[in-house]
């Protein structure tokens, strides 16, 4: 097995493994914790095999608001069709920060990709926190943020899918530290995001906005990021506790179909 970094801040390709067979789980886990997001190429996993791979590294859980595949409720389809203009989750975010216990990580496998475009960007929230001044770190220490599933920037595609599936929407809210400590590495990471974070706990939205807007811009600076180009059979596995991601919506008129598994996490601290 070879681990090949793709950028200075985060991200590495893991080469020489077939995830449909036995693989070195400890080494994969080590690469995941070190590089925050890892990528695999040319993996021919059906939904059952994809779910089995996920179970070696965490506990798959159902994704809120979106129904899973028939027979595989923990595997959801992330799809944009030729006529659609909005992609699912098309904004910088960490997954479902509005839950009491947001996911540890997520896995995505490419089933159909457009002839161009459709890349995903990832941003290291370790690097974003570490680049702040000591004064800003002191200011953020002890602050908590209110995160909501109803924030308008991300509700469009979610609401569309709920209507298609005949479901009902309810607002979910999670209050978490602005700076969280990773439970496995002990490193500190920024934990706010433009898609879900509404305000600081104990403050109004107006009072919170100036500092939040600074953090939203800061935490996705190019030097904190990497970018992944998908091929059919590619897999990305990212650490939701210390990264954000952004699926780029630049392939109108083409299909993009992915399968995704979410892994259970713990309450941020």
Query: Of 127, 180, 196, 260, which is the active-site residue?
Result: 260
Inter-residue contact 37 to 28 (CB < 8 Å) = no
Query: Of 93, 127, 196, 241, which is the active-site residue?
Result: 93
Query: Of 180, 241, 245, 256, which is the active-site residue?
Result: 245
Residue 260 annotated to the active site: yes
Residue 245 annotated to the active site: yes
Q: Quickly count: other Cβ atoms within 10 Å of residue 180's Cβ.
A: 21
**Residue 245 has which token pair?**
């991601």
Place of tokens 């706990």: 201
Residue 83 annotated to the active site: no
Q: Which of 188, 194, 36 is nearest to 106 (CA)?
A: 36
Residue 95 annotated to the active site: yes
Number of residues assigned to the chain: 269
β 75-80/105-112 pair status: unpaired
Query: Of 35, 95, 180, 196, which is the active-site residue?
Result: 95
Q: Which residues are catalytic?
A: 93, 95, 245, 260
């Amino acid at each position: 097995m070879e681990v090949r970094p793709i950028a200075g801040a985060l991200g590495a390709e893991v080469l020489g493994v077939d995830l449909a067979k036995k693989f070195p789980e400890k080494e994969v886990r080590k690469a995941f914790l070190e590089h925050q997001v890892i990528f695999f190429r040319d993996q021919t996993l059906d939904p059952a095999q994809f779910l089995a791979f996920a179970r070696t590294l965490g506990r798959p859980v159902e994704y809120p608001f979106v129904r899973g595949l028939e027979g595989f409720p923990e595997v959801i389809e992330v799809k944009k069709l030729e006529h659609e203009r909005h992609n699912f989750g098309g904004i910088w975010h960490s997954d479902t920060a509005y839950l009491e216990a947001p996911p540890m990580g997520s896995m995505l496998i490419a089933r159909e990709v457009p002839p161009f475009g459709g890349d995903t960007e990832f941003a290291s929230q370790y690097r974003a926190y570490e680049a702040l001044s000591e004064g800003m770190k002191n200011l953020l220490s002890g602050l908590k943020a209110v995160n909501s599933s109803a924030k308008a920037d991300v509700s469009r595609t979610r609401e569309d899918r709920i209507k298609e599936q005949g479901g009902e929407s309810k607002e979910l809210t999670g209050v978490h530290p602005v700076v969280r400590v990773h439970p496995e590495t002990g490193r500190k990471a920024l934990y706010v995001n433009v898609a879900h974070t509404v305000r600081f706990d104990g403050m109004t939205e107006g009072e919170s906005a100036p500092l939040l807007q600074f953090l939203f811009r800061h935490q996705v600076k190019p030097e904190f990021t990497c970018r992944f180009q998908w091929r059919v059979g590619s897999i990305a596995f990212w650490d939701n506790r210390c990264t954000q991601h952004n699926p780029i919506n630049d392939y109108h008129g083409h299909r993009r179909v992915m399968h995704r598994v979410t892994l259970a996490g713990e309450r941020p601290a």
